Amino acid sequence: MKKENTKVVHQTEELTLLTSEEWFTKDCNDRHERRRKEKDARATRLDENWCPRIEDYDWAAEQGYDKLVSISIETEKFIDYWCDKPGKAGRKLSWWRTWRNWIRNAVQWKQERQQKQRPASSEWDELHRDATE
* 70: helix, strand or coil: coil
Residues of the chain scoring pLDDT < 70: 1-16, 18, 20, 22-28, 32, 34-40, 118-133
* Overall residue count recorded for the chain in this entry: 133
pLDDT of residue 45: 95
Element (H, E) at 7: strand 6-10
Q: Shortest CA distance to 73 belongs to which of 60, 84, 62?
A: 60
**pTM tops 0.75:** no
pLDDT of residue 48: 93
Whole-angstrom CA distances from 10 to 18, 34, 110 are: 11, 19, 49
Q: Which residues contact 103 (CB under 8 A, 6 or more apart)?
A: 60, 65, 69, 71, 74
> What residue spans of the chain are helical by DSSP H?
20-40, 54-63, 65-68, 71-84, 95-117, 121-132
